Structure 1
Amino acid sequence: MGIGKLLVLGATSPTGQIIVKRALELGWKTTVYGRRTLPEHAENEDIQTFEGPLDDEASLRTAIAGQDVIISVFGPSNPRAPTDVFVPAYKLILKTMRSEGVRRIIALSTCSVRDPKDKPSLLRWLLVTMLWAIAHKVWKTIVDISVVFDEEGKDIDWTLFRVGFLADGPPMRAVDGYVGDGKVGLYLRRADIAEWTLSQAEKSPPEYVQEKPAISSVKVSHA
């Protein structure tokens, strides 16, 4: 596919901001959509901005039309905030992509979502059990979003990339695979999400189509 037109959903989040910054550095023609626009995005002539809620079909369609790839990093995180918007939002996004002929979306998920290729992991079990107990609505919404992709994304080239603990800091190196495979852990820097998602966005043919890989960060070896 190469570098082309990119829509970032969740661009105001810490992870989204890093993705937008890195996309511009790599030469992507970048669009952001969300309920609000950051001043640094609005003032940057290289970024096309659209504002609207996730259930505004007309505004969302305007942002999606003509894009080559969508990277989405919005989702439930605060157990005290409403979570009922996210499942309908992803249903609308997939529907709009289909009608506009946009096939590729790379979307954030977490290790609460299971994959048949995963192997047993005590750390993942502890993390997910804690989330299930403390923030059950968040856990359920994450799982329900995964079901939306399974059931309503059959003709879309989607990838749900699953993450564990997020951290700030300079990029290390992102590895991908599946939980418990001995390669992927549960520590991930946001900068590595940017590098990984943008590298996936360039690939032709796309990788991990209708799959749910896990990604994590590892230290770069200088040996």
Structure 2
Amino acid sequence: MNSEKGILVLGATGPAGICLLRELLHRGHHAIAYVRNPGKIPLELASSPKLEVIPGELTESKKLASAISKCTAVISFLGSSGSKVDDVKLFASYYSDYIFPTMRAYSVQRIYAMGTISIRRPEDQPSALRWLAIAIFGRVYPKMLATMLEIEKVFDTKADNLEWLLFRIASIPGKSDETSWRKDREDGDTFVGWVAESGWSFSQKRAALARWLVDAVEGKADTWIGKMPAVSKLAGSKANLE
């Protein structure tokens, strides 16, 4: 059993989660994946000595504690499947009732969690594109929209004494296989700021988002702790083709 402390990934079997696992391992981090179905993790990742896979449900307190006790920070994609659940408060309750208390119990302070631009912050600028996207999204996936607003609420009200960052994304295209990940992780620089500020765009490849998240756990986004910045590809930036 690997005793090295690592980065815990929640939602590790989705495309963004798999890209994140690839990025963590690529950069030499010990990664911990707490997953419902370990079989969804690609074999080349599951066989890495730097990856520890812990099967379990978020409501299984002892198993979750085992995973959190081994980490220095948590990165969470929970909520991305919000359109598939009936209870729009479900993912928010995972944070407030299970993840946050367990982090506090094991003195794990840092969590980076996913939100979407359906979450509004006072610093955001007006954007017709954002308005249209929320209108369409809310009509097609009303439960996922409501889920994200509950996640916003729980970070605003229940994450006290934790060092949290809720990154808000719009479109994150891209595949999670190794070839696509290697190409997409070089897809331009990352914008971090407020919606519709200069440099904000509507899209960022999943692998490039994963690259930024690992930058963040390495200390390059500390000024955004306790905030909910929009994260996207920096408008006008070019892919690194070297």
1:217 aligns with 2:217: no
Q: Which residue identity is paired with 2:50?
A: D
Q: Secondary structure at the match of 1:220?
A: coil
Deviation at 1:80? 4.0
**1:10 maps to which residue?**
11
> What do you get for the CA RMSD once the two structures are aligned?
1.9
Q: Is 1:114 matched with 2:130? A: no
The 3 A distance-change label for structure 1 pair 221 and 112 is same
Residue 79 of structure 1: CA displacement?
2.7
Question: Cα offset for 1:77?
Answer: 3.3
Q: CA separation in 2, counterparts of 1:221 and 1:108?
A: 24
User: How far apart in 2 are the matches of 1:105 and 1:139?
Assistant: 22
Structure 2: give runs of 5+ residues left out of the alignment. Answer: 175-179
- Which residue of structure 1 lines up, in the alignment, with residue 134 of structure 2? 128
1:50-69 → structure 2 map (5 Å cutoff): 50-69=54-73
CA distance in structure 2 between the aligned counterparts of 1:194 and 1:17, rounded to whole angstroms: 9
The alignment-based identity, stated in percent, is: 29
Q: Secondary structure at 2:223's aligned position in 1?
A: coil
Contact 1:55–1:88 (8 Å) recurs in 2: no
Amino acid paired to 1:112: S
1:197 to 207, 210, 213: 213
Normalised by the length of structure 1, the TM-score is 0.91
CA distance in 2, matches of 1:126, 1:11: 30
Q: Whose strand proportion is higher, 1 or 2?
A: 1
1:180 aligned partner? 196
> For residues 185 and 142 of structure 1, what CA distance do their matches in structure 2 show?
20
Give 2:177's aligned residue.
Answer: none
Report the TM-score, using the length of structure 2 for normalisation: 0.84
Gaps of 5+ in 1: none
Structure holding more helix per residue: 2
Distance 1:78 1:148 in 2: 15
CA distance in 1, matches of 2:221, 2:238: 27
- What is the match of residue 173 of structure 2? 167
* Segment of structure 1 superposing worse, 178-187 or 199-208: 199-208
Relative to structure 2, which stretch is displaced further, 39-48 or 115-124? 39-48
Q: Report the alpha carbon displacement of residue 74 of structure 1 after superposing the two structures with TM.
A: 2.3
The alpha-carbon deviation at position 5 of structure 1 amounts to 1.8
Q: Deviations over 1:180-213 (max 9, x none)?
A: 1121111111011111111010117823111000
Aligned length: 219
* Equivalent position SS for 1:11: coil
Q: Which moved more, 1:204-213 or 1:111-120?
A: 204-213
Q: Counterpart of 1:159 in 2: which secondary structure?
A: strand
The CA deviation string for residues 96-147 of structure 1, in whole angstroms up to 9 with x for no partner, is: 1111100001111100101111011110011111122222111011010111
- 2:76–2:111: 8 Å Cα contact kept in structure 1? yes
SS at match of 1:24: helix
- 1:71 aligns with one of 71, 75, 83: 75
Displacement of 1:221 = 6.9
SS class of match (1:98): helix
Residues 76, 83 of structure 1: 8 Å contact kept: no
Q: CA deviation at 1:53?
A: 1.0
> Amino acid of the residue matched to residue 72 of structure 1?
S
Find the aligned partners of 1:76 and 1:204 in 2 and give their Cα distance.
Answer: 25
